[in-house]
């Protein structure tokens, strides 16, 4: 996996996954997949421009009801299974919404690249969390994307 940073406003993370674009798309946009990697929240997308996005706590967020909404946002752009642009705002940080862009490109031998660009302008706490710099808050995008790669390539994530 490669991780680069463009200035202090956009984090760009790329991982190469031996899976189809559709499998990666489904893992990003469907709750039965999102519950199996990363922070394991249950995503709910209305996959049309202006549609609502939310993540519920699921079974892996201690002290929270399974259906508690922990992240909200809006779908900005959809080109399934190639590109998804959405806003992202956490329920626990007092910061403005940020923008996440997911891009899936097909490569050789059934290997696709997944690039996640997270515009964290004016959201320093969100930036620190997703860079994996907040103690006790997980490894941010690098860990989540590594977990997604493991899940799609082996059938199980990095953690039980």
DSSP readout, the chain?
Answer: -EEEEETTTEEEEEEEEES-HHHHHHHHH-HHHHTTSTT--EEEE--STT-EEEEE-TTSSTTS-TT-EEEEEEEEEEETTTEEEEEEEESSS-S--EEEEEEEEE-STTEEEEEEEEE-TT-HHHHHHHTT-STTS--HHHHHHHHHHHHHHHSS-S--
Quote the CATH superfamily of domain 2-152.
START domain (3.30.530.20)
Residue-wise pLDDT tens for the chain (160 aa)? 444 444 468 999 999 999 999 999 999 999 999 999 998 999 999 999 999 999 999 887 778 888 999 999 999 999 999 999 999 999 988 999 999 999 999 999 999 999 999 999 999 999 998 888 888 777 899 999 999 999 999 999 998 7
Q: What are phi and psi for residue 120, nearest 5 degrees?
A: -105, 25
pTM of the model: 0.91
Task: Write down the pLDDT at residue 63.
Answer: 83
And the tokens for 31? 């709750």
pLDDT of residue 5: 46
Question: Taking a C-beta distance cutoff of 8 angstroms, is the pair 71, 41 a contact?
Answer: yes
pLDDT score of 139: 87
- Taking the alpha carbons of 95, 93, 101, 3 in that order, is the dihedral positive or negative? positive
| Tokens (6 digits) for 140 | 């941010």
């Amino acid at each position: 996996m490669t991780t680069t940073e463009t200035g202090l406003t956009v984090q760009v993370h790329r991982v190469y996954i031996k899976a189809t674009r559709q499998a990666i798309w489904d893992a990003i946009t469907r709750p039965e997949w999102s519950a199996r990697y990363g922070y394991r929240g249950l995503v709910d997308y209305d996959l049309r421009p202006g549609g609502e996005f939310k993540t519920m706590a699921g079974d892996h967020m201690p002290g929270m009801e399974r259906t508690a909404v922990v992240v909200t946002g809006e779908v900005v752009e959809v080109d399934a299974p190639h590109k998804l642009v959405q806003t992202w705002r956490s329920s626990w940080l007092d910061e403005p919404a940020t923008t996440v862009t997911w891009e899936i490109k097909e490569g050789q031998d059934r290997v696709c690249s997944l690039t996640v660009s997270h515009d964290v302008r004016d959201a320093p706490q969100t930036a620190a969390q997703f860079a994996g710099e907040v103690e006790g808050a997980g490894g941010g995008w690098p860990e989540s994307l590594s977990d997604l790669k493991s899940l799609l390539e082996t059938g199980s994530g990095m953690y039980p």
